Structures are given as C-alpha cells and as structure tokens.
Amino acid sequence: MVQPEHQRRAYLEALGIDVWLPRDQAEPHGEDMLDTDTQSDIRVWDDLRATVAACTSCGLHTSRTQTVFGIGDPQADWMIIGEAPGAEEDRRGEPFVGRAGKLLDEMLRAVGRSRDRVFIANILKCRPPNNRDPKAEESAACRGYLQRQIELVKPKIILAVGRIAAQLLLETDEPVGRLRGSRHQLGDIPLVVTYHPAYLLRSPSQKRKAWDDLCLATRLMREASV
C-alpha cells in the first residue's frame, strides 16, 4: 500500500529524518498561507495600531506609559466599548484588566462569550491622569480611531460599558440607569448600555440588571444574524 505523501513526511519527521522537497512543492509559511484579503486586513490593523501608538493629537500622550489599542477578535460579533485605560491598563497595554476585567470576563462567559471571541476597546487610547473623566478634546481626538475600529470589526452588537462610554457614543447626557434596558443604534449597529464592572464591584446588587442587559444584547445579536 502506498503511503500518502503527507503521512510519509510526518513519519520521517517524527523519526528526526530531514525531509527535502523541491522548492515548488514546499508548503507555504506565514503570510504566504493567507489569502490576499486576509493579508490586506492584517496590514490595515497593523497600520492603525502603529498610528495610535504614535499619536500626539492631545496632551495625554505626555503622561501615558503606552497606548491601549484594544484586544480580541477583529471579526467579532460583539464589540465591548469602555471609557479609558486605568493605571493597570496603561501599564499592560490591554483594556479591562484587574478586578474589573475579571468581572467582565465572567459576564461574557455567562452568555457564552470570551475575551478572545469579542473585541474590546475604549473611547480613549491613553490613560487620563488620576483616572479623571475624559475631556471633550481628548475624546474628539480619539473618536476617529474608535470609529475605524468599529468599521473594521463590523460587529453585530455593541455593548457600551459605563456612563462615559454610553454618553459619548450616543451623544447624550442621560444617566446609565435611563439608557440601559433599551435598544439604541450607533449607525446601523444595535447598541446596548450596561454598568461598568468597576461600578458592579462597588454595587453588587446591580449585577442582576447587568445580566438583563447582556441577555438583551444576546437577543439583539441573534436577531441581527437572521
């Protein structure tokens, strides 16, 4: 019985025997294995990340340790948008870490999601000193970056986490308590408002409402998929 070529090669490699192939038969590696559209998407994300990392459009660049670009699946159905990096996020370069990040992870797991299956970003890419609220010029300077991220991800649902994120995205001064529990729109994307995990750590009695918000987001996402 003739052994398939890929099995023969795997067998030889397992024995530590070098397998030599003609150049035209060698398997592609790295970006060569990706189709043209995928390679283009990677370059677009890399370019955007580099632009954010070098940004000096507002005064926050003078006090940051590093920018916090965002993390997760660039083709996610869910996009989570928070306010701004805190001290730990500024140090690690990743949004929603620490106790609040762990609670967010638990919230996502409760509806069958995980950090690597959503895309998480913030209104601001740099930490405001002493975790103060963003200034209007700071959020305006970062808005284009966030908008580009939304365009690239193309999420089916956006979860606005906390007062600042909700008010800036929806251009309103309504409190979270009045904004949550309803469907909103950001362009043609359904948007749901919920409490920030840091607030839920201080007010655990509100976790039930946050669960209701996640259920609403799940339902709207499914409707958008039909």
Of 83, 47, 51, nearest to 67 (Cα)? 51
Total residues found in the chain within this entry: 226
**Contact partners, residue 110, CB within 8 Å, separation at least 6:** 211, 214
What's 182's DSSP letter?
S
Q: Low-confidence residues of the chain, pLDDT below 50?
A: 1-3, 11-12, 19, 23-31
Position 13 in a domain: no
What pTM does this model have?
A: 0.82
Domain housing 187: 26-225
Q: Tally the domains of the chain.
A: 1
Q: What is the CATH number of the domain that holds 61?
A: 3.40.470.10
Residue 39: per-residue pLDDT:
72
Position 6 in a domain: no
Position 185 in a domain: yes
Position 44 in a domain: yes
Spatial contact of 171 and 177, defined as CB atoms under 8 Å apart: no
List residues bridging with 144 in a β-sheet: none
Residue 30: per-residue pLDDT:
46
**Contact partners, residue 154, CB within 8 Å, separation at least 6:** 75
Position 14 in a domain: no
Helix (H, G, I), strand (E, B) or coil at 183: coil
The first and second tokens of residue 64, run together, are 């940051």
Residue 154: per-residue pLDDT:
96
Position 12 in a domain: no
Position 5 in a domain: no
Position 166 in a domain: yes
Residue 27: per-residue pLDDT:
47
